[in-house]
Amino acid sequence: MLKKEARQITGGLSKPSKMPGPAHNLPAWKCLTGAKLAKVPGSVCAGCYALKGRYRFKNVKDALSRRLQALEDPRWVEAMTVLIQGEKYFRWHDSGDIQSLKHLKNIFTVCKRTPETRHWMPTREAQFLKQLDPAAIPTNLIIRMSSHMIDQGPVKFWPWTSTVTSQAGRTCPAPEQGNECRDCRACWDRSTPNVCYGKH
């Protein structure tokens, strides 16, 4: 499959300026848990960047909706594999989240077919992670379960987590380095159990 066809099937990848590689995004208004959390003051989704600004432009919303519909395309796994092959780092869901167990299993297949790529996926969808054995996920993928509330500690049921603090204790160095990861790869690193971000 050619990259052009793969882009047409999937709706293409995004290129977050902060990250060392491309990403895949989905509409944040379709997050199963996050769309509810966005209405809860003090949650990490209240004030979600992916529900504001340019994400409200019609062309951006249409592109995100196309990527969501593309998840049902039987060629999605092959097309995503074609787009990711050769990348050193990949981030799943710079906006949006896991839609179903089938979606998650398809992501696993993409990870297995791109063994040279390190994949990172943050999620708020505990319902799907609780159906998984962490030892069974592809070794080149790290899934970080995000705590729902600002200043909440890491969850206990999953080995890799992320939290958001309004106090001291942030471990993500991006704010000191032009809001970029630069050579930090903590989010992709399985030996880092929790990454703590500062509240925006």
Residues that bind ligand SF4 (CB under 6 A): 172-174, 181, 184-187, 195
CB of 70 to ligand SF4, least distance (A): 26
Q: Which residue lies nearer to ligand SF4 by CB, 128 or 160?
A: 160
Distance between start and end Cα atoms, the chain: 40
Q: How far is CA 16 from the centre of its chain?
A: 12
Q: Which residue lies nearer to ligand SF4 by CB, 132 or 186?
A: 186
Q: Whose CA is closest to 45, among 100, 104, 93?
A: 93
**Amino acid identity at 7:** R
Residue where the block lists tokens 């929790």: 194
Helix (H) or strand (E) holding 146, with range, is strand 141-146
CB of 144 to ligand SF4, least distance (A): 9
**Amino acid identity at 16:** P
CB of 159 to ligand SF4, least distance (A): 17
Q: Which residue lies nearer to ligand SF4 by CB, 80 or 181?
A: 181
Q: Which residue lies nearer to ligand SF4 by CB, 63 or 174?
A: 174
Degrees, nearest 5: CA angle 8-12-13: 170
Q: Which residue lies nearer to ligand SF4 by CB, 11 or 96?
A: 96
CA distance 110 to 10: 13
